[in-house]
Amino acid sequence: MEKKRENELQSREEAAQIMDMVGIHAAEYMKAMAYYRCAIMEIETKFNVLNTEFSLQYDRNPISSIKSRLKSPLSIKGKLERKGLDVTLENVEENLNDVAGVRVICSFPEDVFALAEAFLKQDDITLVEMKDYIHQPKANGYRSLHMIVQVPIFLSHEKRLMKVEIQLRTIAMDFWASLEHQLRYKKDHDFTEEMMRELYDCATQSAQLDARMDALRRHVEG
Protein backbone atom coordinates (compact mmCIF):
# COMPACT_ATOMS: atom_id res chain seq x y z
CA MET A 1 0.00 0.00 0.00
CA GLU A 2 2.81 2.40 1.00
CA LYS A 3 4.70 1.45 -2.16
CA LYS A 4 1.59 2.16 -4.27
CA ARG A 5 1.19 5.59 -2.69
CA GLU A 6 4.87 6.29 -3.24
CA ASN A 7 4.58 5.35 -6.93
CA GLU A 8 1.49 7.50 -7.24
CA LEU A 9 3.32 10.48 -5.75
CA GLN A 10 6.26 9.89 -8.06
CA SER A 11 4.06 9.80 -11.11
CA ARG A 12 2.22 12.95 -9.98
CA GLU A 13 5.55 14.67 -9.65
CA GLU A 14 6.64 13.40 -13.06
CA ALA A 15 3.36 14.59 -14.60
CA ALA A 16 3.75 17.99 -12.96
CA GLN A 17 7.30 18.35 -14.26
CA ILE A 18 6.39 17.37 -17.81
CA MET A 19 3.33 19.61 -17.95
CA ASP A 20 5.20 22.57 -16.44
CA MET A 21 7.85 22.07 -19.13
CA VAL A 22 5.27 22.53 -21.88
CA GLY A 23 3.49 25.37 -20.14
CA ILE A 24 0.40 23.57 -18.82
CA HIS A 25 -0.15 24.53 -15.22
CA ALA A 26 0.41 21.38 -13.18
CA ALA A 27 -2.59 21.94 -10.92
CA GLU A 28 -4.89 22.38 -13.94
CA TYR A 29 -3.49 19.22 -15.48
CA MET A 30 -4.04 17.24 -12.25
CA LYS A 31 -7.63 18.51 -12.09
CA ALA A 32 -8.32 17.44 -15.68
CA MET A 33 -6.82 14.01 -14.99
CA ALA A 34 -8.97 13.68 -11.85
CA TYR A 35 -12.06 14.28 -14.02
CA TYR A 36 -10.93 11.59 -16.46
CA ARG A 37 -10.43 9.25 -13.49
CA CYS A 38 -14.02 9.96 -12.40
CA ALA A 39 -15.23 9.13 -15.91
CA ILE A 40 -13.35 5.81 -15.76
CA MET A 41 -15.10 5.04 -12.45
CA GLU A 42 -18.50 5.76 -14.03
CA ILE A 43 -17.81 3.46 -16.97
CA GLU A 44 -16.39 0.68 -14.80
CA THR A 45 -19.47 0.83 -12.57
CA LYS A 46 -21.78 0.57 -15.56
CA PHE A 47 -20.00 -2.58 -16.77
CA ASN A 48 -19.89 -4.06 -13.28
CA VAL A 49 -23.64 -3.53 -12.97
CA LEU A 50 -24.23 -5.22 -16.34
CA ASN A 51 -21.97 -8.09 -15.30
CA THR A 52 -23.96 -8.60 -12.10
CA GLU A 53 -27.27 -8.52 -13.94
CA PHE A 54 -26.12 -10.91 -16.69
CA SER A 55 -24.72 -13.32 -14.12
CA LEU A 56 -28.07 -13.44 -12.33
CA GLN A 57 -29.80 -14.13 -15.62
CA TYR A 58 -27.39 -16.64 -17.18
CA ASP A 59 -25.55 -17.99 -14.14
CA ARG A 60 -22.13 -17.03 -15.47
CA ASN A 61 -20.04 -13.88 -15.73
CA PRO A 62 -19.79 -12.30 -19.19
CA ILE A 63 -16.89 -10.12 -17.97
CA SER A 64 -13.64 -11.79 -17.06
CA SER A 65 -11.85 -8.60 -15.96
CA ILE A 66 -11.74 -4.83 -16.47
CA LYS A 67 -8.47 -2.96 -16.88
CA SER A 68 -8.41 0.81 -16.92
CA ARG A 69 -5.69 3.36 -17.46
CA LEU A 70 -5.05 7.08 -17.78
CA LYS A 71 -2.76 8.00 -20.65
CA SER A 72 0.65 9.02 -19.29
CA PRO A 73 1.73 12.68 -19.60
CA LEU A 74 4.55 11.68 -21.96
CA SER A 75 2.14 9.76 -24.24
CA ILE A 76 -0.28 12.68 -24.20
CA LYS A 77 2.50 15.07 -25.16
CA GLY A 78 3.82 12.68 -27.84
CA LYS A 79 0.40 12.12 -29.40
CA LEU A 80 -0.41 15.86 -29.60
CA GLU A 81 2.97 16.51 -31.18
CA ARG A 82 2.42 13.70 -33.72
CA LYS A 83 -0.88 15.35 -34.63
CA GLY A 84 0.98 18.65 -35.10
CA LEU A 85 -0.88 20.29 -32.21
CA ASP A 86 0.38 22.49 -29.40
CA VAL A 87 0.51 20.77 -26.04
CA THR A 88 -2.34 22.59 -24.31
CA LEU A 89 -5.09 21.32 -22.06
CA GLU A 90 -7.66 22.54 -24.56
CA ASN A 91 -6.06 20.41 -27.29
CA VAL A 92 -5.97 17.41 -24.94
CA GLU A 93 -9.69 17.70 -24.28
CA GLU A 94 -10.70 18.50 -27.85
CA ASN A 95 -8.39 16.25 -29.84
CA LEU A 96 -7.51 13.21 -27.76
CA ASN A 97 -10.18 10.58 -27.33
CA ASP A 98 -8.15 8.06 -25.36
CA VAL A 99 -6.86 9.92 -22.30
CA ALA A 100 -9.20 7.70 -20.28
CA GLY A 101 -9.21 4.08 -21.41
CA VAL A 102 -11.27 1.16 -20.17
CA ARG A 103 -10.65 -2.36 -21.45
CA VAL A 104 -13.39 -4.89 -20.81
CA ILE A 105 -12.22 -8.48 -21.20
CA CYS A 106 -15.16 -10.75 -21.93
CA SER A 107 -15.60 -14.50 -21.79
CA PHE A 108 -17.17 -15.15 -25.21
CA PRO A 109 -17.43 -13.11 -28.46
CA GLU A 110 -21.19 -12.91 -28.08
CA ASP A 111 -20.74 -11.29 -24.65
CA VAL A 112 -18.77 -8.46 -26.28
CA PHE A 113 -21.70 -7.49 -28.48
CA ALA A 114 -24.39 -8.12 -25.86
CA LEU A 115 -22.56 -5.91 -23.35
CA ALA A 116 -21.86 -3.19 -25.94
CA GLU A 117 -25.53 -3.13 -26.93
CA ALA A 118 -26.80 -2.96 -23.34
CA PHE A 119 -24.23 -0.29 -22.47
CA LEU A 120 -25.02 1.92 -25.48
CA LYS A 121 -28.75 1.80 -24.68
CA GLN A 122 -28.12 3.78 -21.48
CA ASP A 123 -29.49 7.27 -21.93
CA ASP A 124 -26.55 9.12 -20.38
CA ILE A 125 -24.09 7.55 -22.83
CA THR A 126 -23.36 9.16 -26.20
CA LEU A 127 -21.51 7.14 -28.79
CA VAL A 128 -18.93 9.31 -30.54
CA GLU A 129 -17.25 6.65 -32.66
CA MET A 130 -17.23 2.87 -33.01
CA LYS A 131 -14.64 0.66 -34.72
CA ASP A 132 -15.51 -2.99 -35.08
CA TYR A 133 -12.20 -4.75 -35.46
CA ILE A 134 -13.92 -8.06 -34.67
CA HIS A 135 -16.02 -8.26 -37.82
CA GLN A 136 -13.27 -6.39 -39.71
CA PRO A 137 -9.95 -7.32 -38.07
CA LYS A 138 -6.92 -5.13 -38.75
CA ALA A 139 -4.47 -6.35 -41.41
CA ASN A 140 -2.15 -7.75 -38.72
CA GLY A 141 -4.99 -9.81 -37.20
CA TYR A 142 -5.86 -7.49 -34.28
CA ARG A 143 -9.45 -7.93 -33.08
CA SER A 144 -11.43 -5.84 -30.57
CA LEU A 145 -14.51 -3.65 -30.48
CA HIS A 146 -13.54 -0.01 -29.91
CA MET A 147 -15.94 2.70 -28.82
CA ILE A 148 -15.37 6.33 -27.98
CA VAL A 149 -18.18 7.50 -25.72
CA GLN A 150 -19.12 10.58 -23.78
CA VAL A 151 -20.22 10.08 -20.18
CA PRO A 152 -21.36 12.74 -17.71
CA ILE A 153 -19.64 13.16 -14.36
CA PHE A 154 -21.51 15.05 -11.69
CA LEU A 155 -19.37 17.43 -9.62
CA SER A 156 -20.56 19.58 -6.73
CA HIS A 157 -21.42 22.55 -8.95
CA GLU A 158 -21.39 21.28 -12.48
CA LYS A 159 -21.87 18.38 -14.83
CA ARG A 160 -19.03 17.64 -17.25
CA LEU A 161 -19.10 15.43 -20.32
CA MET A 162 -15.98 13.31 -20.53
CA LYS A 163 -14.68 11.21 -23.42
CA VAL A 164 -13.58 7.65 -22.72
CA GLU A 165 -12.16 5.00 -25.05
CA ILE A 166 -13.61 1.57 -24.38
CA GLN A 167 -12.09 -1.57 -25.83
CA LEU A 168 -14.15 -4.74 -25.56
CA ARG A 169 -12.49 -8.03 -26.41
CA THR A 170 -12.49 -11.69 -25.43
CA ILE A 171 -9.82 -13.39 -23.33
CA ALA A 172 -8.38 -14.89 -26.53
CA MET A 173 -8.30 -11.50 -28.31
CA ASP A 174 -6.66 -9.96 -25.24
CA PHE A 175 -4.09 -12.75 -25.04
CA TRP A 176 -3.02 -12.11 -28.63
CA ALA A 177 -3.11 -8.29 -28.38
CA SER A 178 -1.17 -8.17 -25.11
CA LEU A 179 1.62 -10.37 -26.40
CA GLU A 180 1.71 -8.67 -29.80
CA HIS A 181 1.89 -5.30 -28.04
CA GLN A 182 4.89 -6.50 -26.02
CA LEU A 183 6.59 -7.89 -29.10
CA ARG A 184 5.94 -5.17 -31.60
CA TYR A 185 3.43 -2.38 -31.04
CA LYS A 186 5.14 1.04 -30.90
CA LYS A 187 8.58 -0.55 -30.95
CA ASP A 188 11.04 0.08 -33.75
CA HIS A 189 11.72 -3.57 -34.40
CA ASP A 190 12.04 -4.65 -37.98
CA PHE A 191 9.46 -7.35 -38.27
CA THR A 192 10.13 -9.64 -41.20
CA GLU A 193 7.30 -10.75 -43.50
CA GLU A 194 7.68 -14.21 -41.99
CA MET A 195 7.19 -12.89 -38.42
CA MET A 196 4.14 -10.85 -39.50
CA ARG A 197 2.65 -13.96 -41.10
CA GLU A 198 3.32 -15.93 -37.90
CA LEU A 199 1.58 -13.28 -35.77
CA TYR A 200 -1.33 -13.20 -38.21
CA ASP A 201 -1.57 -16.98 -38.03
CA CYS A 202 -1.68 -16.83 -34.21
CA ALA A 203 -4.51 -14.27 -34.47
CA THR A 204 -6.41 -16.58 -36.83
CA GLN A 205 -5.97 -19.47 -34.42
CA SER A 206 -7.19 -17.37 -31.48
CA ALA A 207 -10.28 -16.40 -33.53
CA GLN A 208 -10.89 -20.09 -34.24
CA LEU A 209 -10.61 -20.87 -30.52
CA ASP A 210 -13.17 -18.15 -29.76
CA ALA A 211 -15.55 -19.60 -32.34
CA ARG A 212 -15.16 -23.15 -30.97
CA MET A 213 -15.67 -22.02 -27.35
CA ASP A 214 -18.71 -19.99 -28.40
CA ALA A 215 -20.17 -23.08 -30.10
CA LEU A 216 -19.67 -25.03 -26.87
CA ARG A 217 -21.33 -22.24 -24.90
CA ARG A 218 -24.35 -22.29 -27.22
CA HIS A 219 -24.55 -26.07 -26.79
CA VAL A 220 -24.41 -25.81 -22.98
CA GLU A 221 -26.82 -22.88 -22.74
CA GLY A 222 -29.19 -24.39 -25.29
Residues engaged in binding ligand 0O2 (CB under 6 A): 98, 101, 131, 138, 140, 142, 146, 177, 180-181, 185
Nearest CB to ligand 0O2, comparing residues 138 and 212: 138
DSSP codes joined into one string, the chain: -HHHHHHHHHHHHHHHHHHHHTT--HHHHHHHHHHHHHHHHHHHHHHHHHHHHHHHHHSS-SEEEEEEEEPPHHHHHHHHHHTT----HHHHHHH-S-SEEEEEEESSHHHHHHHHHHHHTSTT-EEEEEEETTTS--TT----EEEEEEEEEE-SS-EEEEEEEEEEEEHHHHHHHHHHHHHTTTS-----HHHHHHHHHHHHHHHHHHHHHHHHHHHHH-
Shortest CB 198 distance to ligand 0O2, Å: 15
Q: How far is the CB of 32 from ligand 0O2 (least distance, A)?
A: 18
Least distance in angstroms from the C-beta of 112 to ligand 0O2: 15
Closest approach, Cβ 103 to ligand 0O2, in A, equals 8
Nearer to ligand 0O2, 180 or 214 (CB): 180
Q: Which residue number, 102 or 177, has a Cβ lying nearer to ligand 0O2?
A: 177
Nearer to ligand 0O2, 157 or 186 (CB): 186
